[in-house]
Amino acid sequence: MENLEGKLAELFSSLSRTAERSRLYAMRAVKDGQPRLAKLFLALAESKARQAQRFLVQMRGAVGPTAENVRTAFGTELNADIDRYRDLLGEAERAGSKALATGFSHSIEVDRRTMELHERLGRETEDAAYYVCDFCGYIAVDEPPEHCPVCTAGRNRFKALDPRP
């Protein structure tokens, strides 16, 4: 079973990568004046994302109660990601890869701010709308900023979140 679990993890990674690359291909197809092809790339991206999600459920098992999910997402996982980004940031700097170093720095900042959003959610009673920067992942509350405070992307790079999963 251990070998199967390893293969599932590789498959999940491959499907996720294909989904994201297909989204990039769609953006390029639009830029190259091929909107019909862009739509097909987006359909492929969504298909691969759904396949990846299906196998992730098999790898991770059932989703627990919300309180447990909160501890996992905002406690364990975000902190582990920040630690990973810090390690990779150091490696990228030593390798002289400025673009990767910037990406890891942005990810650290995004995850820190996301943890702050969770803390804020516990103090506030008003419902909020969320907008995600499609370049760095920064989450804005109520309305997108003129420029992303993490990566400086313009307001047009923010996508409104649909509250339904």
Helical residues (DSSP H) of 61-163, grouped into ranges: 66-70, 78-95, 98-123
Sign of CA dihedral 93, 99, 100, 101: positive
Last residue in a domain, options 13, 36, 60:
60
* Domain co-membership, 6 together with 40: yes
* Domain co-membership, 19 together with 48: yes
The pLDDT of residue 5 is: 85
The pLDDT of residue 62 is: 66
Kindly list the averaged pLDDT for each block of 10 residues, start to end, along the chain of length 165: 84 95 96 96 94 87 84 92 97 98 97 93 84 95 97 96 70
The pLDDT of residue 59 is: 84
* Domain co-membership, 121 together with 157: no
Domain span at residue 158 reads: 127-165
The pLDDT of residue 124 is: 79
C-alpha dist (Å) from residue 100 to 92, 105, 118: 6, 9, 27
